[in-house]
Amino acid sequence: MITQKMKYALKALLTLADEAAKPQPEALTIEEIAKRSGTPKRFLEHILLEVRNAGIIASIRGRSGGYSLIKRPTDISISELLRTIDGPIAPLPCLSRRAYQRCEDCTDEATCRIRKVFAEVFWSYLVIIDSLTLDDMLRSGVVADQVLGAAQ
């Protein structure tokens, strides 16, 4: 399950990507991103700082300042963003690639049935989530709009 914070980060990035796709894109203020994405402004500043520190967006100071994407949507990994915003994504600490910790109550990882079952589910999840980019999310919205429009 992703956190509300991650949902806000995705909404903000989708808004910035929509702006970047325009013929004359502009940097967007926090207020404008909040308005367009339906995200509360009070949470957005901290989230955008984390995303900026991850090298995904840039902040521009001054009168015409704001935020803009510096990575292409095809280069923005959803799994990396998840890890940046929410931390490790493994269901058990002993399955984490980047934050591995042996479970305190485990006597033998090799024979742990809990680990084996969750490992299978988690690896399947990773195959999918590691392949997703912001571009996939942008395109899924277009496809969904086309399908919904055709159904009306």
Q: What confidence tier does 18 reach under pLDDT thresholds 50, 70, 90?
A: very high
Of 88, 83, 87, 89, the C-alpha closest to 56 is 83
Of 18, 7, 132, 146, the C-alpha closest to 76 is 132
In this prediction, residue 141 carries a pLDDT of 61
Backbone angles phi, psi at 60, to 5 degrees: -120, 130
Which residue has tokens 């493994």?
90
Q: Flag whether pLDDT at 38 surpasses 80.
A: yes
C-alpha distances in Å from residue 32, one per residue of 44, 51, 52: 11, 17, 17
Report pLDDT digits (tens) over 60-70: 888 878 999 99
Q: Where are the beta strands (DSSP E) in the chain?
A: 57-60, 66-69
Instruction: Provide the whole-model pTM.
Output: 0.82
Report pLDDT digits (tens) over 24-35: 999 999 999 999
- In this structure, what token pair is assigned to residue 107? 């006597």
Please tell me the distance from the alpha carbon of residue 115 to that of residue 103, in angstroms, as a whole number.
Answer: 10
> Under 8 Å CB-to-CB from 22, ≥6 apart: which residues?
none
Give residue limits of the domains in the chain: 77-132
Please tell me the distance from the alpha carbon of residue 113 to that of residue 31, in angstroms, as a whole number.
Answer: 49
